[in-house]
Chain A
């Protein structure tokens, strides 16, 4: 079946512009996660959505970052007024159950470059 998909695969933007990153989870998966992977670093946990519950936003690096999940499916990560330090690969994952105990299935990521 279809895996997690993300779009765009690459995004180059100018400093100060807003960007939107999209994630389509695996159908039927209740939980959706966003991570940031900077060059040579591990994965930084940003936010996750568990079913229809309000997400825990405490992992977002600044108030320029926000995320939505519409209808319990597609999610959008928005970065406002992008800065060069936002350059990274943004990964999305989904899991069948959302209590952090289940394996996550990852998408291919969106590589964001802020010039």
Chain B
């Protein structure tokens, strides 16, 4: 079974639209961490955010916001007023500290059309 599922393979939006990227995870650990990374066309992955399993507060950073819900095992990422520079592949990831493993989802390719 997939540890991290990103059901949306590709999304296209028109500039200035809001878009939400879904991430569902599976773990039996009580202590774990969730991450989002961005991989722009240039190729290098860039860290966006980290959340630990004990902190369900939502976070906002500029046009980016994250919604962590343990009840549904989801960690969704919303971009408000999307811009062309947001075009990239976005990866959700899970680390299981006890199991010493790190899992990435298969990524969601976002295209923002000007």
Chain A interface residues toward B at CB < 8 A: 33, 35, 40-45, 48, 56, 59, 89, 91, 93, 99-109
Contacts and interface: CB of A to CB of B under 8 A. Distances in A.
Interface residues of B, number: 24
A45 to B, nearest CB: 5
Contacts of A109: 43-44
Interface string B93-107: 101110011111111
A70 B104 CA distance: 27
Given A100-B33, A103-B50, A43 B104 contact: yes
Given A101-B33, A101-B50, A45 B100 contact: no
Contacts of B104: 35, 42-45
B102 A48 contact: yes
Given A33-B102, A45-B104, A99 B97 contact: yes
Contact of A100 (B91, B97, B105): B97
Given A42-B4, A48-B102, A107-B44, 19 more contacts: A33-B102, A35-B104, A40-B106, A42-B104, A43-B93, A59-B101, A89-B43, A93-B45, A100-B33, A100-B101, A100-B102, A101-B33, A101-B50, A101-B52, A104-B47, A106-B37, A106-B44, A108-B43, A109-B43
Nearest to B106: A42
Contacts, number: 53
A43 B43 contact: no
Nearest to A100: B95
Contacts of B33: 100-101
B113 to A, nearest CB: 22
Contacts of A42: 4, 91, 104-107
5 contacts: A42-B4, A42-B104, A91-B45, A101-B95, A106-B45
A43 B91 contact: yes
Contacts of A105: 47
B44 A45 contact: no
Among B4, B102, B107, the one with the most A-chain Cβ atoms within 10 Å of its Cβ is B102
Contacts of A43: 45, 91, 93, 104
Residue with the highest number of chain A CB atoms closer than 10 Å, among B91, B104, B105: B104
